[in-house]
Amino acid sequence: MPTEEGRPDWSDRSLGGRIRVALWLYEQVGEGQRFRKQDMREAIPGVEQIDRRMRDLRPAGWIIKTYRDMASLSPDELFLETIGAHVWEPGKRSTGLRTVSGRLRREVMDRDHHRCVRCGISSGEEYPEEPGSSARLTLGHINAHAYGASAAAENLVTECARCNETAKQLTPVQFTADHVRDQVRELSKREKTNLLSWMALDRRPMSKAEQVWAHYRQLPGVEREGLRRELARMLGSEEED
- CA–CA distance, 28 with 80 (Å, rounded to integer): 11
The answer to whether 100 and 151 are in contact (CB under 8 A) is: yes
Q: How far apart are CA 142 and CA 139, in angstroms?
A: 10
pTM: 0.46
Gap between the Cα atoms of 173 and 179, Å rounded: 12
The alpha carbons of the chain give a radius of gyration, in whole angstroms, of 21
**190 vs 97, more confident:** 190
Among 226, 181, 175, CA closest to 199: 181
The Cβ of residue 88 has, within 10 Å, a number of other Cβ atoms equal to 22
Do the beta carbons of residue 94 and residue 13 sit within 8 Å?
Answer: no
Please compute, for residue 125, the number of CA atoms within 13 A of its CA located in the half-sphere on the CB side: 20
Choice among 119-133, 168-182, 203-217, 223-237 with the minimum mean pLDDT = 168-182
Over 12-63, what HEC string results?
Answer: CCCCCHHHHHHHHHHHHHCCCEEEEHHHHHHHCCCCCCHHHHHHCCHHHCCE
Instruction: Give the model confidence (pLDDT) of 101-130 as tens digits.
Output: 788 888 998 888 888 887 888 888 888 777
